[in-house]
Amino acid sequence: MSRIYAAAVCRITNEKNVVTLGDCVADLDGPNILTPTIPELNQLITRGAELSYSNIDRIQLDRLTLHYSIVLSKSCNLCYLVLAENEFSDSNTQAFFNAVQTVIVNDQRLFIRLSTAKEYELQSEIQHRLFALVMEQNQKSNVPAARINELQQQVAEVKTVMSDNVVRILERGERLENIDSRAEALNQSSQSFKTTARRVQRNMCLKNLKWTIILTVFVVLIVVLIIILILNGAGVFNHKKD
């Protein structure tokens, strides 16, 4: 976030003192951050800022940043202050200072009084203008914050969906592993069955061959025996003896 906590318009005297002409403190929700007062910010500017020429710079605090713009001119030397969160960018700072300078300089009746006004003498005229600019800037800052929250919720939802998908994928992976294991077991069983079937088939073939040979020998013997009996009955063997 890049919200503004406080803003002020000050005058730099010839003695290099900072006189607050008017300020605005924003009422923000969120973490309780101890913010320095406007007089304390003026002391920081007096000690740490270069007040002898026009410049824009910042002073880093604990959780906030003090941005300041020194504008020196012949008619009046002014200092614009803005106390904002550390994320407040340089472009936002420059745009805010330009807006403050516009609403101050464009009011001629207010502008001619800046060089002689005392401490907080112009508070009633400056405060509401600063407050409007601060509220406008903070509302712009809240839009990205709301968008970020929305995106964070979407990311959380996506994480939940992805977690569910991962669990389902892991479960599916386990089921696939079980299927692979079963398929491998079935494959091994089928290979073992094929080997056993081949062995049994070979044994059966050997047995069939053995019985075929025995039967063939038996038949041959029967045929030979029949032939011998026939020849014997025909007297072939008796004729040879005579």
Question: What is the distance between the alpha carbons of residues 113 and 123, in angstroms, rounded to a whole number?
Answer: 12
- Residue ranges making up the domain that contains 116: 4-146
The answer to whether 58 and 66 are in contact (CB under 8 A) is: yes
DSSP string spanning 106-122? S-HHHHTTTTT--TTTT
CATH no. for residue 124? Answer: 3.30.450.50
Supply the mean pLDDT for the chain. 84
Kindly report the pTM of this predicted structure. Answer: 0.58
81 lies in some domain: yes
For the stretch 57-107, pLDDT in tens is 999 998 899 999 999 988 889 999 999 998 888 999 999 999 998 998 888
| Number of separate domains in the chain | 1
The Cα diameter of the chain in Å comes to: 178
121 lies in some domain: yes
33 lies in some domain: yes
The answer to whether 99 and 129 are in contact (CB under 8 A) is: no
Question: What is the distance between the alpha carbons of residues 80 and 57, in angstroms, rounded to a whole number?
Answer: 11
3-state secondary structure 190-222: HHHHHHHHHHHHHHHHHHHHHHHHHHHHHHHHH
232 lies in some domain: no
Residue with tokens 């010839």: 14
97 lies in some domain: yes
Grouping H, G, I as helix, E, B as strand and the rest as coil, residue 52 is coil
Q: Which residue in 111, 103, 139 sits closest to 2, CA to CA?
A: 139
For the stretch 193-211, pLDDT in tens is 888 888 888 888 888 888 8
111 lies in some domain: yes
104 lies in some domain: yes
71 lies in some domain: yes
Q: Which residue has the higher pLDDT, 157 or 92?
A: 92
